[in-house]
Amino acid sequence: MYKRLSIRQKQITWAWAFLAIPVIFYVVIRFYPTGNAMLISFQEWNLLGDRAWIGLANYAKLWNDPVFWQVFRNTFVYLLLGTPISLVLSFFVAYHLDKIRFMHGFIRMLYFLPFMTSAVAMAWVWRWLYQPVPIGLFNNTLAEFGIPQIDFLRSTTNALPAILAPAVWAGLGFQIIIFMAGLRAIPQSYYEAAHIDGVSKWTVLFEITIPLLRPTVVFLTVFSSIGFLRIFDQVYNMTTNDPGGPLNSTKPMVLMIYQSAFTDFEMGYAAAQTVVLFVILLLVSLLQLYLLRDR
């Protein structure tokens, strides 16, 4: 039968044969677990016994759970603070680093190094920096100037910003590299024409550079937002004695899902939280793509 096919038909057959590999991969690795999680969210299951269908009971429990709303708020605080701060800082560094020629590659490597560092190791180093006197570097420095020490990780007001800082710092290198690639992609003819016309640097920045970086900004905004909505490593490792911080002040949704599944063994409840997080990720990404689209 294959021999009877035309050359065009054979090409299509081979194309679909090669496409079948990634399609099967995504069905088995991505789509099936996603669909199974949605199914489990309507069931009660403790990993060992049989599954029992309970309908929307897990979602009703989630709606009436005050801890969930605290976690929901924390997750969006990570998003609404972390994304703009990381984008502004990375653009500021990339914009000025792009103009440096002396040791440019070495400096760029230093900024990118935290992104390649293990998140667990980095979190424990920052945890050590935040410790009280005489261990923590930050509080020791404050003590040298006679400033009272700060309870970074055991305060309901300081813990979340203290965890957000290393999370922003860890992703800064990647965003700087992407911003620099976007800056290098802008044709120099725009800047030459602006220089001939005597346009100020601020006008060039806001009328040429930033508008032409829109695709880069869109990509980094969505990428960074997904990262902050799924933040876990920094929170879990910096608050291991009390996961989620004092009064759940730093607990994000991913940590709540982890605890519900592998501490409380409520797989149905954890699956319901996963579905909610998936919907949030989808809506936030679509909203950002809509707001930042080219008009």
pLDDT in tens, 241-262: 888 888 899 999 999 999 999 9
Shared domain check, 181 and 62: yes
Residues lower than pLDDT 50 in the chain: none
How many CB atoms are located within 10 Å of the residue 246 CB? 16
Please report the DSSP string for 101-129 in residue order.
-TTHHHHHHHHHHHHHS-HHHHHHHHHHH
Shared domain check, 36 and 166: no
Shared domain check, 72 and 22: no
* Residue 23: predicted pLDDT: 83
Which helix (H) or strand (E) element contains residue 205? none
Q: Residues 161-182: pLDDT tens digits?
A: 999 999 999 999 899 999 998 9
Rg value, the chain, Cα: 24
Shared domain check, 96 and 36: no
Does residue 62 form part of some domain? yes
Shared domain check, 182 and 99: yes
* Residue 244: predicted pLDDT: 87
Find residue 99's DSSP bridge partners.
none
Does residue 136 form part of some domain? yes
Q: Please state at what angle helix 137-144 crosses helix 119-129, rounded to 10 degrees.
A: 30
Whole-number Å distance between alpha carbons of 283 and 221: 14
How many separate domains does the chain show?
2
Does residue 145 form part of some domain? yes
Does residue 130 form part of some domain? yes
Shared domain check, 199 and 93: yes
* Residue 294: predicted pLDDT: 66
> Domain range for residue 16?
1-40
Does residue 52 form part of some domain? no
Residues in Cβ contact with 273 at an 8 Å cutoff, skipping those fewer than 6 apart: 62, 68, 253, 256, 257, 260
Shared domain check, 128 and 79: yes
Shared domain check, 78 and 29: no
Sign of CA dihedral 70, 227, 174, 91: negative
pTM: 0.87
Which helix (H) or strand (E) element contains residue 133? none
* Residue 32: predicted pLDDT: 85
Among residues 184, 183, 182, 172, the alpha carbon closest in space to that of 110 is found at: 172
Q: Which two tokens stand for residue 186?
A: 């802008």
DSSP conformational letter for 3: G
